[in-house]
A and B are shown apart, each in its own frame.
Chain A
Amino acid sequence: MTELQAGSTAAPRRPRPLSPHIQIYKLMLTYVMSGFHRISGAALYFGTLLVAWWLIAAVAGPNAYANFEWFISTLIGRLVLFGYTWALLHHMLGGIRHLIWDVGLGFEPNEREFLALATIVGSISLTLIVWVIGYLAAGGPR
C-alpha cells in the first residue's frame, strides 16, 4: 500500500471495489469440501500430539503406556481418536482429489461434484470400516 500511495497523485482515494467474497456465494459441496480439507489438516496438526504421546509412552515404559491406554479408553479419548481417524482419512482422500487436479484432470462440473461427494462419502465410510475392523481386532464384543 505504501508503494502505491507514494506513486499516486494527490487525488482523494475512493474506496476500491471489492471482488465477491465467500459470504455471497451459494454454499456448494465443492466449496465446503475445500474448507474441510484445511480444517481437517489443521486438526491433524494438533492430533499428531496424540501420535507423539503414544510413541513416547510406549518407550517410557508400562506405566506411561497404561496412562495412554486409559485416556484412549475414556469417552473423550475415544471421540478424539475417532475424530483423528476421520480427519486423517478425509485429508488423505481430499489430498488425492487435489493430486488429480494437479495433473489436470477432473475439472468438469460433474467431475468436480463427483470428487467432492466421493471425498465426504469415502472418508465417512472408510472411518467406519477402520473402526469396525479395529473393534474386531481388539477382541470384538466382550
Chain B
Amino acid sequence: MNLHEMRTPMGRVRGLGSARSGTRAFWHQRMTSVAAVPLTIAMIVILISLLGRSHAAVVQILGSPIVAIITVLFVLTTVYHMWIGMQEIIVDYVHEDKLKLATLMANTFYAVTLGFACVFAILKLSFGV
C-alpha cells in the first residue's frame, strides 16, 4: 500500500471524495505549502529590492536567471496551491451539482490562465524577445 494512500478500499473503488479525487489534493496541498514558504520569503525580498526602480531596471532584474527561476517556481507553486484551496472551499459550500461543476471548472480556468499568463510574462522578460 502506498505510504500516502489514506483512502479505504471501498473509497478507492468508488473514487469518492467531493472533488472525486481522494487524498491526492490533501497531500499536494501540504507539498506545495512546504515549497511556498521559502519561495514566498524569496519573492518578498525580490519585490522589496525592486521598489523605486525604473521600468528598465525592473525588467533587467526580473529577467535575470535566478530571479526568473524563483518567480516562475513561486507562481507555479502558489497557483497550484490556490487551485486546490479554492476547490476545497467550493466543495465545502456549493452543494448543488450543476453549480458545483461550473464553479470547479471556473476555478480551473482561472488558475490555469493566471499561471500561464504569469509564466509567459516572466519567460518573455527573461528571453528578451
Give the B-binding residues of A (Cβ under 8 A).
38, 41-42, 44-45, 48-49, 51-52, 55-56, 58-59, 61-62, 65-66, 88, 92, 95-96, 98-99, 102, 130, 133-134, 137-139
Indicate whether A138 sits within 8 Å of B51 (C-beta atoms), given known contacts A95-B36, A99-B34, A130-B44. yes
Kindly provide the distance from the CB of B75 to the nearest chain A CB, expressed in whole angstroms: 7
Could you tell me the distance between the alpha carbons of A59 and B55 in the complex, rounded to whole angstroms? 9
Q: Which residues of B contact A102 (CB under 8 A)?
A: 30
- On whether the beta carbons of A65 and B89 are closer than 8 Å, the reply is no
Give the contacting residue for A52; candidates B49, B82, B118; CB below 8 A: B118
Min CB–CB distance B28 → chain A (angstroms): 13
Q: Which of B33, B37, B56, B114 has the most CB of A within 10 A?
A: B33
Counting chain B residues whose Cβ lies within 8 A of the other chain, the interface size class is 20 to 34
Nearest A residue (CB) for B74: A51
Residues of B within 8 A of A49 (CB): 114
Partner of B75, one of A51, A61, A65: A51
For chain B residues 30-80, which have a beta carbon within 8 Å of chain A? 30, 33-34, 36-37, 40, 44, 47-49, 51-52, 55-56, 58-59, 62, 71, 75, 78-79
Q: Majority SS of interface residues in chain B?
A: helix
Give the shortest distance, in Å, between B76 (CB) and chain A (any CB): 12
Q: What chain A residues lie within 8 Å of B24 (beta carbons)?
A: none
Residue A138 contacts which of B52, B122, B124 (CB distance < 8 angstroms)?
Answer: B52
Does B125 reach chain A (CB closer than 8 Å)?
Answer: yes
Q: A45-B85, A137-B49 are in contact. Are A56 and B58 (CB under 8 A)?
A: no
Q: Tell whether A58 pairs with B62 under 8 Å between CB atoms, given A38-B89, A130-B44, A139-B52.
A: yes
In the complex the two chains form, is A45's CB within 8 Å of B86's CB? yes
Q: Is B52 a contact partner of A98 (Cβ separation < 8 A)?
A: no
Q: Does B6 touch A at the CB level, under 8 Å?
A: no
Question: How far is A137 from B45 in the complex, measured between Cα atoms in Å?
Answer: 11
